[in-house]
Structure 1
Amino acid sequence: MLMSPSVIAAVMVAFHIVGVMAALHAVMTVRTAPGAIAWAGSLVMMPYFALIPYLIFGRSTFAGYVNARRFNNDRLREIRRGMTASEREALSACVVTAPAQACMRALPGLTGMPCLANNDVRLLINGQQTFEAIFAAIDAATQVVLVQFFIVHDDELGRELQRRLCERARAGVKVYFLFDSIGCHGLGRAYMRTLQQAGVEARPFATHPGFVNRFQLNFRNHRKLVVVDGARAFLGGHNVGNEYLGARAPLSPWRDTHIEIRGAAVLELQMAFAEDWYWAAREVPYLMLPPQGDVGEMICQVVPSGPADAQETCSLFFVEAIQSAQKRVWITSPYFVPDEAVFAMLRLAVLRGVDVRILIPSRPDHLVVYAASTIYAYQAVCAGVKVYRYQPGFLHQKVILIDDEAAAVGTANLDNRSFRLNFEMMVMTAHPAFARDVTRMLEADFAEAREISRDEFLASPALLRVAMHVAKLFAPIL
């Protein structure tokens, strides 16, 4: 039965009314002016096409993170009240009020977290090293284990993690397991039920409660963090799945990097986890003070970032890292879709005579992102940036090397999704020995990479070049 013209008109009017309301919401909440203009214009002019995409990509509200940070501060005060005077003095002595490294000076103010001394950081260069270290630490846990991943698969590696967490929980250890509800969309209820029956506290991270979250693909929790007994933390690019061990074609061998951290910075990593846990569970997890005593000589700055921040923390972190470089800045990332501020810093660094190198994959895991990365890579090469494609397999590591003194490892990619849409975590470490370790690692990666030239893009078929430019239009959500 056909609808009458009056019914069709009423439906169209209703769409436009809702579209105007959504456009006002976009103007008030979208971080960037181009993004707000794009959403508002689409919602007003074409609400029948734009409303569903806005529901999927555009809406966010993270007021609850204010409460999470308040509870974190309360918990930190509780920890300090239970400390002896010497323990309080030791913790205060770790705070570095004026870092010597230019790349770290703005970060305490940007993140609200202090720059801390008395740390030791170890590179874990592949999946085998990473999960051997993580599993050994979990097996030795006596009090609390905090686990957070964006993706967990119910495969051999995922079940190995499950088994170890269940064993620790049955032994009386407090175990918290936080996973992203979209990143783990394929993780069955049986996996979670097994954890919960063993006593593991397991929660999904969801942007919105209930059914609505199924439509929200943006604002995901992309962090990968494990903390054991408040003493050791593991952070980096690896998720939990066989492909991260290089056991799944066509992207194998998988190239990724994690770090193990011991020392004062572990407390700040626990605080970041507590914010995420409070958002998911409305409770504060059990936190522990790192063991006292000398651990190492490394200075660390924890940099959590996400759409709940008052500023664009992740983008500004990359800006600060790049603009502080005097000799070189080497960056590895699976995706290269920078915003204008970061891209400008890369070009200016080249003009200052800095050795600017970007290492990206030669194999795509997301075709649209790969196409957009290719056009940005061409523009970067034209500006004097050296861009390389890693040849052996898929490159997924997120690493920044600044001169001979500092390096950062974590979860943030060089793209707008990490800059503005996802919750990420990086750790900047200032120490010549650690910078040398990262240098040797990246030199080995560059030795297995091919440098991109201008001709590579220009030699591509015209239709493919057009597709790349079209993919670039989606950069704000890639």
Structure 2
Amino acid sequence: MTLRASCRNWLARHPRLQRSARFLKRHRRRITGTVVFVAHLLGALTSVRAIMETRTSQGAIAWAISLNTMPYVAVPAYWVFGRSDFNGYITARRTERESLKPFWRNFDSTLRERSLVPEPGNSGTTVVERLAKLPATSGNHAELLIDGEQTFPSILEGIARAEHYILFQFYIIRDDPTGREIRDALIQRAQAGVRCLVLYDEFGSKPPDDYLAPLRDAGVRIFPFNTTQGDANRFQINFRNHRKIVVVDGLEAWVGGLNLGDEYKGLDPEVGYWRDTHIRVEGPVVQTVQVSFAEDWYWAAREVLEGLNWDPQPAKNGADMRMLCLPSGPVDPLETCTLFFLHAINTAEHRLWIASPYFVPDAQFISALQLAALRGVDVRILIPDESDNGLVDLSCWSYLPELHAAGIEVYRYEKGFMHHKVTVIDDRYCTIGTANFDNRSFRLNFEVTMGVEDESFTGEVIRMLETDFSHSRKVVPGEFGEKSAWFRFWSRVARLTAPVQ
């Protein structure tokens, strides 16, 4: 029996469906016309919103064209990926900051009494402080942690030292030996009476119940960041919390590129060697890191965090590094992450090295990098040779002619997958954090970046990147032009998707 005959027999046994089928057949043209009209009307109306609210002109143009030409696909895609407003978070952050005001006034006055603020008059510091809405501090110490081999033991040692509380936040938490080792360490401290609070991004990872249950049974409080809470955010998956933060007792903190899983130790045979960087800090900058966690906790748990340590103490070893924590995200009134890195590029005088696994800059960054190179700055870009995102890798190739035209050097890391997010500006300033050099980190993700102004520490970072360059292939000018015409075409097509990558 043919499929058509089977369908006829099935309809014959269901007279109501048979009548509906006849009705649809009789009014097919009218129904089709109505659906087309409604779809294009929704596309037109949504394109107005996209033009009014999308942060970049490229993104607004891309959405407006697709919403009016392909509304059947573009309209649902826009409501999931295209929105630039995060309903409710601004109000939640305002509430949380209001609750912290008494602590914050005391924190600020204590910083000044203990001479834990940098000397006034540095306009660059003032700009960054205004962007961060957090103070730069002195009296800090930073420890460079290279790869999972150094990072995870350091975090485990910090967890073991905790006496009062642990604030723990990662984009990805895996249920694998690495993830379970950290979990067991948190359980042990929770059972010893230490307050343990855990946040993770529900799109970055979905730890199974049998991973989470032992944590909760031990008294660890754990929440997904939950970007979809609230009716207006129900279908919103565009805003990710990409931060990786650990704070212990308000005395030490860890921030950087590593998530929690075996691959970040280089133990995944499919991924191979994983190149990444974290930073451990002590001193008054730790309290500014925990401000970021407290805001995210309030959004996820709807709870004001009390009982945190807001008493700024200089680093125990007497170090006096100037540091600043820069949280950034889609709810900021200004494009905090964008402006921060543009400022860094524009202030570079002789060295600007950028390491990023996802290098998809927009026009303003290309121009700023070209101007830096034309000023005589040694501009180098370090990216992975084997990317885990084919679209990003294709896009990245299309930027090479513009970079090479200004004398910018591009290196492709060949030893394994390079995932760290590090910049060096001259010989005294560097950043380590979670932000990639792409639209998602600049405008859509919640990120955190640590800025360190110290010649000795920056020297360590420079030597680390020099080792990375020695494991990299320098891309030859004209290499993109030698690719096939189809490769160059698809590279340009991939670049058009940069606003939504």
Structure 1 residue aligned with 2:62? 38
8 Å Cα contact 1:16-1:47 kept in structure 2:
yes
TM-score (structure 2 length as normaliser): 0.89
The equivalent residue for 2:369 is 346
Aligned counterpart for 1:284 among listed residues 298, 304, 308? 304
Identity within the alignment, %: 45
Match of 1:374 in 2: 397
- CA distance change for structure 1 residues 419 and 285 in 2, over 3 Å: closer, same or farther? same
The reply to whether residue 166 of structure 1 matches residue 187 of structure 2 is yes
State the TM-score, normalizing by the size of structure 1: 0.93
- Unaligned runs of at least 5 residues, structure 2: 1-20
Q: Which moved more, 1:245-254 or 1:31-40?
A: 31-40
Structure 1 counterpart of 2:215, from 195, 204, 207? 195
Give the C-alpha shift of residue 103 in structure 1.
4.8
Deviation at 1:316, TM superposition (A): 1.1
8 A contact 1:223–1:423 mirrored in 2: yes
Deviation at 1:284, TM superposition (A): 2.1
Q: CA RMSD in A?
A: 2.2
Q: Which moved more, 1:332-341 or 1:62-71?
A: 62-71
Distance (whole Å) between structure 2 residues aligned to residue 88 and residue 178 of structure 1: 29
Give me the whole-angstrom Cα distance separating, in 1, the residues matched to 2:403 and 2:261. 33
AA matched with 2:291: M
**Correspondence 1:67 to 2:87:** no
Distance (whole Å) between structure 2 residues aligned to residue 213 and residue 172 of structure 1: 36
Greater mean deviation of Cα atoms: 59-68 or 403-412: 59-68
* 2:348 paired with 1:325: yes
Partner of 1:94: 116
- Say whether the 8 Å CA contact 2:287–2:312 is kept in structure 1: no
Q: Equivalent residue for 1:386?
A: 409
**Closer/same/farther in 2, CA of residues 74 and 86 from structure 1, 3 Å limit:** closer
- Is structure 2 residue 169 aligned with structure 1 residue 145? no
Question: Quick one: distance in 1 between partners of 2:231 and 2:180?
Answer: 27
Q: Which moved more, 1:437-446 or 1:166-175?
A: 166-175
Encode CA deviations 1:345-373: one digit per residue, 9 max, x unaligned. Answer: 10000100000001111112011111111
Cross-structure match for 1:154: 175
Q: Is the 8 A contact 2:166 2:197 kept in 1?
A: yes
Deviation at 1:270, TM superposition (A): 0.6
User: Which residue matches 1:240?
Assistant: 260
Q: Which residue of 1 aligns with 2:40?
A: 16
Alignment check: 8 A CA contact 2:89 2:299 kept: yes
Q: 1:435 to 1:411 in 2, by over 3 A?
A: same
How big is the shift at 1:451?
Answer: 0.6
Q: Which one-letter code corresponds to 1:94 in the other structure?
A: L
CA distance in 2, matches of 1:157, 1:452: 35
The AA in structure 2 aligned to 1:152 is I
CA contact (8 A) 2:96 2:298 kept: no
Report the Cα offset of residue 204 of structure 1: 0.8
What CA deviation, in whole Å up to 9, does each residue of 1:200-228 have, x standing for no partner? 11111132228997854421111111111
Residue 352 to residue 409, structure 1, CA distance change in 2 (3 Å): same
Q: Which has the larger radius of gyration?
A: 2
Q: Which residue of 2 aligns with 1:364?
A: 387
Change (3 A) 1:99 1:408: farther
Go from structure 1 to structure 2 and tell me whether the alpha carbon gap of 1:111 and 1:132 turns closer, same or farther (over 3 Å shift): same
Letter in 2 for 1:337: V
Of the three residues 248, 266, 276, the one matched with 1:256 is 276
The code of the aligned residue for 1:56 comes to: V
Partner of 2:4: none
Q: What residue ranges of structure 1 are gaps of 5+ in the alignment?
A: none
Name the counterpart of 1:182: 203
Offset at residue 129 of structure 1 (A): 0.6
Contact 1:113 1:302 in 2 (8 A): yes
8 A Cα contact 1:220 1:423, kept in partner: yes
Q: Tell me how far apart the structure 1 counterparts of residues 121 and 100 of structure 2 sit (CA, whole Å).
A: 23
Residue 25 (1) aligns with residue 49 (2): yes
Q: Counterpart amino acid of 1:131?
A: F
1:71–1:95 CA distance, 2 compared to 1 (3 A): farther
Read off the aligned partner of 1:47 and give its amino acid letter.
Answer: P
Report which stretch shifted further, 253-262 or 461-470.
461-470
User: Helix, strand or coil for the counterpart of 2:143?
Assistant: strand
Give the corresponding residue for 2:152: 131
Q: Which amino acid aligns with 2:289?
A: L
CA contact (8 A) 2:155 2:254 kept: yes
* 8 Å contact kept, 2:147–2:276: yes
Q: Give the drift of 1:171.
A: 1.8
Instruction: Quote the offset at 1:195 in angstroms.
Output: 1.8
Per the TM alignment, residue 99 of structure 1 is displaced from its structure 2 partner at its CA by: 5.8
Residue 145 of structure 2 is aligned to residue 121 of structure 1: no
